[in-house]
Amino acid sequence: MTDVARRALLSGGALLAGATALGGTVHAQTAAKPLFPIKQTLIPIVGREEQFPVRRIYCIGRNYAAHAREMGSDPTREPPFFFQKPTDAIQLVPANGIVDHPYPTLTKNYHYECELVVALKSGGRDIPIDKALDHVFGYAVGLDMTRRDLQRAMGDQKKPWEIGKSFDRSAPIGPIHPVEMVGHPTKGRISLAVNGTVKQDATLAHMIWSVAEQISKLSEANEVMAGDIIYSGTPENVGPVVVGDTLLCKIEGLPDMSIKIV
């Protein structure tokens, strides 16, 4: 053993000893440190000092029948499907507050989708529907902002939607409300107004796949984990916004969430 390896073994402790035992090449290891820091995405929690760390952002597509029809699909036949946004697509919006939301690049048809967001405190694989809600930490109001022209163009070409859905600040969200405070919202009104005119207006009971069913179904495809959040779909009457518009999202039992397109 070289002097360097011996010193590393003495300072590196069990980790290095383990690597040696497994036949790995011995390097002068130190505790793994990132080359540079990357900001963890955190969402404020109402009534708590701790914030909710986001691991993954999942979104379900076409989860309200009338919206599925307006997007050109048959809501009676389609199984649920999911896509993801990058974790740092989150844009925080204070409760009952408003933030500036820059109109994104590349699009000429930028759409709102008001959604109930589910935040998980634990997870698993193949979670049964009747156990799924045990994993929910809380709920928030969110917007699944969408470059609709790009989403459609990519879909028409049978290419991934990503550029239409998964971009910077595409996931505005309000603070998370723990289940102890708000229960599991299943029936309340969900609505969105643009400049004071109501555009989307439905109830959570109109979801095709319930929150529990979404978690269960998602856990068949991926192990879901604490820190995952799920945008649970939007009702009908999605539509475009332009610079200067103010969007107001409401879900019964949660504070309003508002963004201004700038």
Which residues of the shown chain bind Mn ion in the complex (CB under 5 A)?
113, 144, 234
Q: How far is the CB of 146 from Mn ion (least distance, A)?
A: 7
Residue with smaller CB distance to Mn ion, 91 or 234: 234
Q: How far is the CB of 59 from Mn ion (least distance, A)?
A: 5
Backbone angles phi, psi at 151, to 5 degrees: -60, -45
The three-state DSSP-derived secondary structure of 75-118 is: CCCCCCCEEEECHHHEEECCCCCEEEECCCCCCCCEEECEEEEE
> Which whole-number Å values give the CA distances from 213 to 63, 129, 209, 218, in the listed order?
11, 6, 6, 8
How would you classify the pairing of strands 136-143 and 42-44?
unpaired
Q: How far is the CB of 67 from Mn ion (least distance, A)?
A: 8
Q: How far is the CB of 145 from Mn ion (least distance, A)?
A: 9
Residue with smaller CB distance to Mn ion, 41 or 234: 234
Q: How far is the CB of 23 from Mn ion (least distance, A)?
A: 49
Residue with smaller CB distance to Mn ion, 85 or 177: 85
233-242: string of b/e by CB count within 10 Å (b at 16+)?
bbbbbbeebe
Residue with smaller CB distance to Mn ion, 82 or 103: 82
Quote the CA–CA distance of 103 and 229 in Å, as a whole number. Answer: 24
Residue nearest to Mn ion (CB): 144
Residue with smaller CB distance to Mn ion, 144 or 228: 144
